Structure 1
């Protein structure tokens, strides 16, 4: 197919009226976001209830599903330059297939990088010259319009990533939007840390003074490539997308082939808002790929690409760090998360919390606990001493109670991402990883009978056995939990440190009534560089992350070098260039 070439010439002026509206609409929200990032208190401008009529209107969930259904079986055009083909709609041609059964049959434009990237570079100057405040207002408007369609995004997440609807609405929609706004607020704060202009005077001692007029301009690095995953395509991509865009960089989004739709919707809305504000739409583009094309590798090493953000396997993250030398690379990779059960003052609540934590989204969260470390001599509880064997059996009972009803179980577990996850679980059930203490069972979702859903398997391991240590020192993404017998608390703490240093971890948990044990674990986690959650009960779980308050990742262990969202995450996306004028005035 011949290229559809559009001259890469940016607009000469932005639409001041639209920018004024966006600034007035979102100025207070951006200021509030900057404030809560400083205080770390609870806040969000985006309602978590999909049925909230004030936030989303009456019947929003049904309307969102109807909008999602209208996208299926159709081309998804974006008007991007350099189109040279189509990706999808059939799965064998790169189209998506719902984990709940059936292809989505959406086709996306494939674009020639030799045309697309120059168009994106040409779009940069006007966006750069708009300044941090204008860029932040436009980004906030993009998120505002995405939020209005949260139910549509949630249904897209259900049928690309296998989430249940509520998780999809939270992690695939409103919490992803929170992460995006958090990045915009951080970017605005870092870019305005220096004054835009300053008059500098130095007395000379004879009544005269040297006077210099100085300006400080945030200059973007260049094109930003965001390489997304299929687990949480928006939640893991929005921090990078909006941090780069808010700091003046054009953004090219390379979605995972199995989860294109949520990010295609994002790109379409961003392009619409940019156009309305008088900026080139090509500041945000989508890079869908043909099966086996390996487009991420090709794009990541292009000289025009100066920023690369990746969420996925640690192995590919390391490849990017080694090969995308022309770019600043941010990675969020694999994790092996540990949780020590040493003692508890509420045994039943602890078991309920653990059962839900290991079940949520079938253990496919990057923060899901995998290794439960339990002293082989047992623990003290409010119900008396419990042996290792009793704890494992009681966890099985708690899982049975939580997941007894298939409809309720499907709502907690969601669907398995794909065949590799099921194959891994089947190997576990065959005894490849160790003795299965609590077997997995199939769950039938009445609404989606084709969905592959399984309850967690609990495998008994011994930390003293070399073959068991090899198993627990690897990531087993999916509904697999290892109950690891350890000799002592000190051995458990040492194992947590080793696992974090060698494999990477995003979250460590602890149940203990001992201040000494808590202090030892806190010190170990600080040294290894991983967040610790102690004695979580009730409806707050180790896998949850509070946006504007919690930092996701530390950049200190192999799980990745990026932190959602600290100053370093945004400040590396721009440079500050000063200009001095002798004797001038501001």
Structure 2
């Protein structure tokens, strides 16, 4: 008999349902990496667990397939990884995934929800281990890897579980339906409703945030009854491999086929994504990554419901604003965090070319741009401190992009390669900030992934708003930010933000940053512009993962 984890996690689910409704701050997973919340030896145990993976074949007991695949993973911090993973061909993966699907479907939403809540509970207990895995595959600094790769990713997974449970639990299993017929006997039917999963789901991982972007789709598909094949990015496999092993352990402990979750790895030289994602058995695809493959999936995986998050061009619009120091402090952290390798980090800062008013005084475009660049430079002036915010550059291609971008405008702040005190071979670069004119659209209207920022001179505030609007409408964005003390400008910007479908932030000068979002409160992406066709985590992200079958039976009175 399957273990029922639903009762064990009932209180967590109850609080999650309330948080989903109220959109207020709540989390069951602590983001504090200090103290004894995770146990007195959790930090040391997590690091030891990570190191034990290095130089070995990753063990997935009972996983189908023969042989191993050597991984493309190289640590941006320069340590040797030398990992390999079980080899799994697509035919074997699809057959294995489907084998346990009926029992998982018939278990019902409560059972599936309980199992998934237990999965996140066990993942949470290994957050330090996950932090090191995320750090050395993505380049995130340790604290960010702990939080974003651990508890914050778990929050997003829990949000998806909760949304999926709420939708399914609203559908009764069985009712007695009676329609009065006046003097004649009533029409009486017994009606039964059953949640029917769509089919095999595939999660295509991203190189920079494999767990944060991966857990929502995986969890939503599982709770809806679908088996999941996890296909990590070739350079960031380990965090999802650890997650898959935990998922398989919980499924087996609960009495289900562990092959409901599978790991299919590949390499850049021999990718499997196109073949896997166009198989007729695959009905759901979650993808985060480049425009090229995201658009290919949307156009070619016609047999599946495809959820994509692709590249966008996030922006900041700056108008008359008295607290310029607060703006600069906020932007310094925003532009430095993880070296701009976040899908929410601004690339374009639009400012009127004739300047803005600050505390009653006119300040030129050049002075405002220099103030922002100076704040970023000062923020990263101490390398020993800066590396804990910047992290490392995930891909050598991103580091090369910094070099080629220097020629695109006037260099206000040059990018510097700095030494990491703990990892001498780490790939660490400070932000590059350039000044250009709004007429040079071809330079700034496409995402240049990494620590590259354009400060753009526009024809007044109306020109700044229009440049922002047109680039987002054409290329998409997930976030946008505006700074102004003028109510009419804020009203116009907020109205544009709503039409464009971006997460708008207004006058951020404190400890809240445009590139950070909170589960259960902030929607991540909207599906309303070219940057993404889906939102984490709204009802549309979940509802398409199942259908409802109905049987009606006549009842004689």
For the Cα contact (< 8 Å) 1:463–1:486, is it kept in 2?
yes
Post-superposition shift, 1:113?
A: 1.8
Can you give the 5+ residue segments of structure 2 that lack an aligned partner in the other structure?
none
Post-superposition shift, 1:383?
A: 7.1
SS in 1 for 2:76: coil
1:155-166 correspondence to structure 2 within 5 Å: 155-166=132-143
Q: Which of 365, 388, 398 in structure 2 is aligned with 1:388? A: 365
Are 1:225 and 2:202 matched, yes or no? yes
How far apart in 2 are the matches of 1:374 and 1:270?
Answer: 48
For the Cα contact (< 8 Å) 1:183–1:239, is it kept in 2?
yes
SS in 2 for 1:225: strand
How far apart in 1 are the matches of 2:346 and 2:280?
Answer: 39
Q: Which of 409, 413, 428 in structure 2 is aligned with 1:434? A: 409
* Equivalence for 1:111: 88
Alignment deviations for residues 378-434 of structure 1 (CA, whole Å, 9 cap, x no partner): 1122373321111111112211221111111111101011111111101123x1x11
Structure 1-normalised TM-score? 0.93
How far apart in 1 are the matches of 2:467 and 2:337?
Answer: 25
Are 1:501 and 2:473 matched, yes or no? yes
Q: Which of 333, 349, 352 in structure 1 is aligned with 2:329? A: 352
* Equivalence for 2:457: 485
Q: Which of 491, 504, 507 in structure 2 is aligned with 1:535? A: 507
1:207-218 correspondence to structure 2 within 5 Å: 208-218=185-195
How far apart in 1 are the matches of 2:380 and 2:517?
Answer: 24
Alignment deviations for residues 37-69 of structure 1 (CA, whole Å, 9 cap, x no partner): 11100000000101241x301132222111111
Post-superposition shift, 1:343?
A: 2.2
For the Cα contact (< 8 Å) 2:93–2:229, is it kept in 1?
no
1:348-497 correspondence to structure 2 within 5 Å: 348-382=325-359, 384-429=361-406, 431=407, 433-464=408-439, 468-497=440-469
Post-superposition shift, 1:81?
A: 4.9
Q: 1:441 to 1:378 in 2, by over 3 A?
A: same
How far apart in 2 are the matches of 1:242 and 1:345?
Answer: 45
* Equivalence for 1:36: 19
Can you give the 5+ residue segments of structure 1 that lack an aligned partner in the other structure?
1-13, 89-93
After TM superposition, the structure 1 stretch with the greater mean CA deviation from structure 2, 315-324 or 218-227, is 315-324
SS in 2 for 1:459: strand
Are 1:555 and 2:527 matched, yes or no? yes
SS in 1 for 2:394: coil
How far apart in 1 are the matches of 2:174 and 2:286?
Answer: 32
Alignment deviations for residues 463-491 of structure 1 (CA, whole Å, 9 cap, x no partner): 13xxx211110111111110000111111
SS in 1 for 2:411: strand
1:83-482 correspondence to structure 2 within 5 Å: 83-88=65-70, 94-206=71-183, 208-382=185-359, 384-429=361-406, 431=407, 433-464=408-439, 468-482=440-454
How far apart in 2 are the matches of 1:538 and 1:343?
Answer: 18
After TM superposition, the structure 1 stretch with the greater mean CA deviation from structure 2, 289-298 or 528-537, is 289-298
Q: 1:373 to 1:291 in 2, by over 3 A?
A: closer
SS in 2 for 1:83: coil
Structure 2-normalised TM-score? 0.98
For the Cα contact (< 8 Å) 1:357–1:542, is it kept in 2?
yes
How far apart in 2 are the matches of 1:191 and 1:492?
Answer: 45
The runs of at least 4 aligned residues of structure 1 exceeding 3 Å deviation read 79-82
Q: Which of 22, 47, 64 in structure 2 is aligned with 1:65? A: 47
**Alignment size in residue pairs:** 557
Q: 1:383 to 1:84 in 2, by over 3 A?
A: farther
